[in-house]
Each structure stands twice: as structure tokens, then as C-alpha cells.
Amino acid sequence: MIEKIRYRFALSERGAKDLVIATIACTVHNLVLMLPVCMLYLLVSDMVGRSIPDAHYWIYGAGIAVIAVLICLSYYWVYNATYFASYTESGVRRIGLAEQIRRLPMSYFGKKDLSDLTSTMMADCTTMEQAFSHWIPEFFGSMISTVIVSIGVLAFNWRLGLAALWPLPISLCMVACSKRVQNYFQRKQTEAKMACADGIQECLETLRDLVSNNAQDDYLKGLEVKIRAVEKRAIKSELAVAMFVVTAQLLLKFGIATVTLVGASMLIGGDLDIITFFAFLILVSRLYDPMGSSLQNLAAILSVSIPIERMREIYNCPVQSGSTRFEPKGYDIEFDNVCFAYGDAGKVLDGVSFTAKQGEVTALIGPSGGGKSTTAKLAARFWDADSGKVTLGGVDVTGVDPETLLSAYSIVFQDVTLFDNTVRENIRIGRKDATDAEVEEAARRARCEEFVSRLPQGYDTMIGENGMTLSGGERQRISIARALLKDAPVILLDEATASLDADNETYIQQAISELIADKTVLIIAHRMRTVAGADKLVVIKDGKVAEQGTPAQLRQSGGFYARTLDLQTK
């Protein structure tokens, strides 16, 4: 049963057990709330027709006190079993999703909208938190307690029991039948929300370009349409649910009418006394109150199937795995007839073969879109090749755990990612146990001191989200310092010096030169002066290796390198 609950509501094992406990707590709480009705029935029965002995006053007083204590205890149990447990499970769920996402191949993020993932981590998890704390345990608790009370009611007086209970199954069936309608409108609403979130994010990221081209008004008009679409979808979704829930709640009220009619008929015929009739009216009102809320909870439970599906999609996605034991024989990177494609978009690499040897600088050059960056990412196992083999030190990278493999790489991308933290901590990401002196030495080699000295608090200056207070070149130098600090045996530089001027590029190349002894260096560059000192050039064009050799050899061959070098020199 625990496994079925885990799968149905995307819970951990502890969360599934807590849900069972929460349901039991809600059931007991609902039954305890019926005790005042029983006490009132006994009191009224005692009062009608005869005087109450003094001893009974003490009994009723003690009974009321005991019921009050039981109600308080049941409330306490329900709050602990639902809210506190749901917060714990919410944390487990978010951490579990984050851990799963951390282990997913990079190809997954190429297919998935990042705002969609953010929505799953935040909005969907919040929805499940509310479902776990409010809807699910309260609904099942109400159902179980209602069944127990219904059995007692039917045993006490079956005719009045039927008159009181007949609307319950019909109301539940009406709401249950709304699942398909709810799912349809929920999906449409989710699509509208994703489109709106994408539009807002795109607006914020491209605001500079919009303003510079006087296009902000037209863009905001389109964004307003998306916002209005979310509003319309929300109204339609609420209306679709309300049609079923409100109708079902209205049907419950007919139960009071049938109890009144059947009870009055039995009272006139002498088959029922006034006290029992009075008790049944109170019982019905008490029974329908939680049921009305349960119908809303049922509708809400049906609506969480979409968030659950979205979370299952992440959990069911195959992760990149491999051995944590990595013992390469050196650090040569070898591509052996490697083919790769991004989905159905056609081959990006088609039979690529070359070797980047340890202790040498191998530069990947070629026209844009030829597959250079893809080659470097396959080397670090950001993706897995469709066919062929990529090895590091003779070990197939697809058999190594990605995190274990990446411990051997220092990578600098063209698009730098920095964090809203200090300069020092952004560099220390390269090696978390590095001392301040080691961080500053790496920064000096990457020529960061030039701009750090101008910052208000030096290395302890906060640089804002993604280093927004720094220039592109300054951000790139921090990224290079991070890689230098890691000092891994394999260095990947993807247009690492593209944002630097000629002087800084020369200085950083000298700094890198100090570290490449016995290291494997793979550089991607478009400026031929950047790779002029490389030991080997590999020209990748249209997904194939068009040329490879030393700069001198390729200069004489008159191919892509020679033509590009001549063009850039002129």
C-alpha cells in the first residue's frame, strides 16, 4: 500500500507513511467531533419527561470536559500529522527533484524549457505541499469517518439513515466525473502560465535590445496578451470545477429535506420519537458540513494529477551514471569515429576522429555551427555520443560517473556564469578548500587584480546577479581564475578569451602556458592569433574533421586555417 501511495502522489517512503498517519488523525478528529452530538442527544433524552438527578449533572459536566480535551488533542494531532509532516515532505521532494536534475544529462536541458523546470520546482511543489497538508488527508479522513458514522446511523434507524445518506455517493460521483474536464483546463492553464513566464523572462533578459530598437511598446502589448490569457484560463478552469462542485454541494442540501420529510412522516405514524428526530437533524447537519469541504478537496486532489505528471517526468528521465572509480592511463582525449545529433535536427558530428594529447595544446577551429563546442562538450560528457567512442586516458567516458569525470576537467565557457556573491567566493568555486592566498594567486594569474583593486571591498565585494556590476572581460577573467584555481589535468577553453582585449588575452595565455605542463588542453577559438601557439589544430567543418596538423602544416596546405589566418591578418 505504501508503494502505491508513493507512486500515486509522488511521495517519498517517509511521506507516504506520514500521509497514512495524517489520514488516521483526520479520521479520529472527525469522529471526535461527533461526540458533542451524542452528548446532546443523551442530555435532551434525560431532560424530556423527567427531572435530571444531581449526579447526572456531574456526569454531563465531566463528559463535556473530556470531549473538549479530546477535541483539543485531536486538533493537535491533526496539525502535527498534516502541516509539520507536509513541510518535511516538501523539503524532501524539492531536494529529491534537485538531486535528480543534477544527475540528468545536459541533453535533457536542451529539450526542456527552463521556466518549465522552475515552475515544477516551485509552483508544482507548492501545490503538492498544499495537497499533502490540506486536501488529501482531510478527504480520506472524511470518507473513512463518514463510512463509520453511516454504518452506525443505518444500524440505529435504516430509513432515516437512507434518507440522510443517499446524496453522498451521488455527489462524490459527480465530482469524480469532472477529472477529465479538470485535466483539460489544467493543461491549458499550465500552457498559458508557461508562455507568460517565458515572455516575462525574455522581456527582462532582452530589455536592453528592446529599448535600443524602440520595440518595448510592441513587445509589452504581446506580453499583455499572454497575461490576459493566463487570467482567462484561470477563470475557465475555476468555472469548470465550480460547475461540478457547487452542484454536488447543492445536492447535499436535499438530504436535509428528505430527512425532514421521512422523519415527519414517521413521527406522525408513531414510528419515531421526537428526540431521535431531533438528533438526526443535528447529525445530518454535522455530517454534511465536512462532506461539503470533502467535495472541494476531491476536486483539488483530481487537479494535482498534472503537477504529479510533471514531477514524474523528471523522476522517470534516465540519468547519466557510471563508475565512481576512475583510473585513466594518462589524460589523452581520443575521439574515435564519433557521431552525434541533437534529437531529430540532423547530425552535428559525423565520424569525428582525432586525439588531443596530454602535454599539448589542441585547438578546435572551423566555421560557426561546425560542431566545435559540441565536440568539447562530448569530451566532458555533457552529452553522450550516438555512436563511436570518446575516451580519456583510454577509459570510455560514458562508463564514468559524470561528477567523477568532471573532477579531471577545468572548463571556461564563452558564456560566463557567476553568482551573486563576492569575487573571492566566485573564484573559490574552482576549489572549495582553497585558501584566500591561493584564490588571490589564481586571480593574479588571470589578471583580475587590475579591476579588483578598484572595487569598494576588493575581493570581498558583492558582484550582483551573474556579475552584473562587472564588464564582460572582467567576468571572463574571474571564470578563468576559477579554472586556474581548480588546476585539473584537462583544460577546456571554449572561446575563453573572446571578451578580452589583445593585451589581456596575451597575458592570460601566458598564465595558461604556466599551467599546461603535463596537461591536456583543448581550445575552441575563432581568432587565429589565439591558437597560433597551439601544438595541434583540428579543423571541424560540417560535422567532420576537414584538416588536422600543426599550425605550420595547415598554413602550407592552403585550407581553412590558411585562408582564415590570411583574412584576419589583412
Same domain, yes or no: 450 and 502: yes
Kindly state whether residue 283 falls inside one of the protein's structural domains: yes
Q: Which residue intervals of 380-430 are DSSP H helices? A: 402-406, 423-428
Same domain, yes or no: 361 and 279: no
What is the span of the domain harbouring residue 503? 333-569
Kindly state whether residue 203 falls inside one of the protein's structural domains: yes
Kindly state whether residue 564 falls inside one of the protein's structural domains: yes
Same domain, yes or no: 390 and 499: yes
Same domain, yes or no: 337 and 307: no
Same domain, yes or no: 366 and 292: no
Cell 571578451 maps to which residue?
A: 499
Cell numbers standing for residue 476: 571572463
Cβ atoms of 476 and 495 within 8 Å: the answer is: no
pLDDT value of residue 460: 92
pLDDT value of residue 130: 81
The span from the CA of 142 to the CA of 134, in Å, is 12
Same domain, yes or no: 233 and 144: yes
Cβ atoms of 116 and 101 within 8 Å: the answer is: no
**Rounded to the nearest 5°, which phi and psi values hold at 555?**
-65, -35
Cβ atoms of 339 and 349 within 8 Å: the answer is: yes
Same domain, yes or no: 71 and 105: yes
- Distance of CA 88 to CAs 11, 15, 133, Å? 11, 8, 11
- Distance of CA 559 to CAs 228, 301, 550, Å? 56, 65, 13
Kindly state whether residue 325 falls inside one of the protein's structural domains: no
Kindly state whether residue 243 falls inside one of the protein's structural domains: yes
How much is the pTM?
0.67
pLDDT value of residue 508: 67
Say if strands 361-365 and 520-524 run parallel, antiparallel, or are unpaired. Answer: parallel
Cβ atoms of 160 and 260 within 8 Å: the answer is: no
User: Does residue 214 come out as left (phi exceeding 0), alpha (psi in the -120 to 50 range) or beta?
Assistant: left
Whats the size of the chain, residue-wise?
A: 570
**Rounded to the nearest 5°, which phi and psi values hold at 356?**
-100, 110
According to the 3-state scheme, what is the secondary structure of 83-125? HHHHHHHHHHHHHHHHHHHHHCCHHHHHHCCHHHHHHHHHHHH
Same domain, yes or no: 391 and 502: yes
DSSP 50: S
The span from the CA of 64 to the CA of 472, in Å, is 74
Q: Is the dihedral of CA 533, 538, 542, 546 positive or negative?
A: positive
Sheet holding 409-412, edge to edge: 409-412, 490-494, 520-524, 361-365, 536-541, 544-549
Residue 493 parent element (H or E): strand 490-494
Same domain, yes or no: 34 and 181: yes
Among 281, 316, 351, the domain boundary falls at: 316
**Rounded to the nearest 5°, which phi and psi values hold at 365?**
-130, 165
Same domain, yes or no: 240 and 353: no
10 Å CB burial of residue 441 (0-12, 13-18, 19+) is middle
Same domain, yes or no: 151 and 268: yes
Question: Could you give the 3-state DSSP secondary structure of residue 40?
Answer: helix
522 CB-near residues (< 8 Å, 6+ apart)? 333, 356, 362, 363, 364, 376, 379, 490, 491, 492, 493
User: Residue 559 belongs to a domain with what CATH number?
Assistant: 3.40.50.300
Same domain, yes or no: 22 and 65: yes
DSSP 363: E
Number of domains in the chain: 2
Residue 364 parent element (H or E): strand 361-365
The span from the CA of 276 to the CA of 446, in Å, is 89
Cβ atoms of 442 and 481 within 8 Å: the answer is: yes
User: b/e per residue, 475-509, with b = 16+ CB within 10 A?
Assistant: bbbbbbbbbbbbebbbbbbbbbbbbbeeebbebbb
The span from the CA of 441 to the CA of 386, in Å, is 41
Cell numbers standing for residue 192: 498559458
Among 283, 316, 349, the domain boundary falls at: 316
pLDDT value of residue 50: 62
pLDDT value of residue 52: 65
Residue 549 parent element (H or E): strand 544-549
Kindly state whether residue 351 falls inside one of the protein's structural domains: yes
In a structure prediction context, what are the per-residue pLDDT tens digits for the chain, which is 570 residues long?
A: 787 877 777 777 888 888 889 889 988 988 888 888 778 777 777 776 566 666 667 787 888 899 999 999 999 998 888 888 888 888 888 888 888 888 887 777 767 777 777 777 777 888 888 888 888 888 888 888 888 888 888 888 888 888 888 888 888 888 888 888 888 888 888 888 888 888 888 888 788 888 888 888 888 888 899 999 999 998 988 888 888 888 888 888 888 888 888 888 888 888 887 877 877 777 777 777 777 777 888 888 887 877 888 888 888 888 888 888 888 888 999 999 999 988 776 788 989 999 999 988 899 988 888 888 889 889 988 888 889 999 999 999 989 988 889 889 988 887 788 998 999 999 999 889 999 999 999 998 888 888 899 999 999 999 988 888 888 778 888 888 888 898 899 988 887 766 667 776 776 676 666 667 678 989 888 777 778 788 899 999 888 888 898 888 888 887 888 888 788 777
Kindly state whether residue 212 falls inside one of the protein's structural domains: yes
Among 316, 347, 372, the domain boundary falls at: 316
Q: Which residues pair with 362 in a beta bridge?
A: 522, 536
Kindly state whether residue 466 falls inside one of the protein's structural domains: yes
User: Residue 12 belongs to a domain with what CATH number?
Assistant: 1.20.1560.10
